[in-house]
Amino acid sequence: MADMTIGIIGAGRIGQLHAEHILSTPSIELKGICDINTGHLKGTFIEKNVSIITKDPSILIEDEEIDAIFICSSTDTHCYYIEKCALAGKHIFCEKPISFSLEETKAALRIVEEAGVKLQIGFNRRFDTHFRKIYQTIQDGKIGKTHIIKITSRDPEPPNEEYIKSSGGMFFDMTIHDFDMIRYLSSSEVKMVSVATANLVDPCFEKYDDVDTAIITLTFEDGTLATIDNSRQAVYGYDQRIEVFGEKGLVMAENERTSNIQIATKESVTLDHPKYFFLDRYKAAFQKEIQEFAQAIINHEPLTCTGEDGLQAQKLAIATKKAWKEKRSVSLNEI
């Protein structure tokens, strides 16, 4: 009775997250999930509710009932699966970043285009209520021409060493969301990037030629200036704030707290903490990105975020890494 049938490649943290959200959406069916290891799914809610649990992705890719595939495997396999899915005529939802190589990404996007399937990238924040209201406020002309965009994006705690090792570095793994958001909010493309970095949270980042703290400055074609500040460790919780300042005013989004209560005693006046991490903070956005993906396909409408958006965010990550390594401002023309 579902309007759409889905298969998932990759049953790690994010794959399971999508699986649970699809299973709670009655109009979308999750038919199968695939991973090189499936043992960890034994006895889970997912196993009970999904027909096919397999180690072979082609079983899903070739299943005629499946309309779309979610690619949630490791980044280095994304382009391979994008191509396979596109050639099989499946619509694709792919997690970010598309890849670490511009050539690979461009090749994959070309095949997607030729196959005429839809490709959405997992930039879940575009589907967040608060950020979408910021977007709408700008679109409505309420703040006029944008002058300064500021994104604060800080994780509550650093990932473990294993993760750091294969993450592709902070700019590809974490800032990529901020690069996409800043493009989403601006109506112009980035011209120049520079960055100031530091290793203040954990020496492990330096060990893998990575940083854990950064301030990235961007200049847009239309003169807008922007800054992103990242940290791998905000001990008070997931810090996700945006402000956009323009000719006619300012629009900004505060963090969501775990509750709206305030406690006042002799010792202190306290608010609740920001929501702790992305599973909690962006739960509704994760659900919405699936619903909008399904709707766009069913109704033949344009997607909110496309492969091209994935490519552009990847370019910004590459430019920022270059700016860091070469200690200079980098023009996007160089990428």
Q: Which of residues 46-75 bind a copy of itself (CB under 8 A)?
A: 48-49
Answer for which of 197, 304, 314, 320 binds a copy of itself (CB under 8 A) is 197
Residue 236 lies near a copy of itself (rule: CB under 8 A)? yes
- Contacts of residue 300, Cβ cutoff 8 Å, sequence gap at least 6: none
Of 172-180, 193-201, 290-298, 308-316: span binding a copy of itself (CB under 8 A): 193-201
Tokens describing residue 167 = 């993450």
Answer for which of 37, 160, 268, 299 binds a copy of itself (CB under 8 A) is 268
Closest CA to 119 of 96, 90, 97, 91: 91
Residue 30 lies near a copy of itself (rule: CB under 8 A)? no
Which neighbouring-strand residues pair with 287? Answer: none
**Phi, psi of 79, rounded to the nearest 5 degrees:** -65, -35
Residue 333 lies near a copy of itself (rule: CB under 8 A)? no
Residue 263 lies near a copy of itself (rule: CB under 8 A)? yes
Residue 169 lies near a copy of itself (rule: CB under 8 A)? no
Q: Is 248 exposed, middle or buried (0-12, 13-18, 19+ CB in 10 A)?
A: exposed
- Kindly identify the residues of this chain, within the stretch 201-230, that bind a copy of itself according to CB under 8 A: 201, 213-215, 217-219, 223-227, 229
For 73, other C-beta atoms within 10 Å of its C-beta total: 23
Residue 256 lies near a copy of itself (rule: CB under 8 A)? yes
Distance CA 196, CA 200 (A): 13
Closer Cβ to a copy of itself, 118 or 232, answer by number: 232
Which neighbouring-strand residues pair with 150? Answer: 227, 243
Distance CA 10, CA 93 (A): 12
Residue 198 lies near a copy of itself (rule: CB under 8 A)? yes
Of 25-33, 80-88, 164-172, 291-299: span binding a copy of itself (CB under 8 A): 25-33
What is the DSSP code (8-state) at residue 306? B
Residue 270 lies near a copy of itself (rule: CB under 8 A)? yes
Min CB(24)–a copy of itself separation in Å: 5
Of 61-69, 74-82, 83-91, 246-254: span binding a copy of itself (CB under 8 A): 246-254
What is the DSSP code (8-state) at residue 140? T
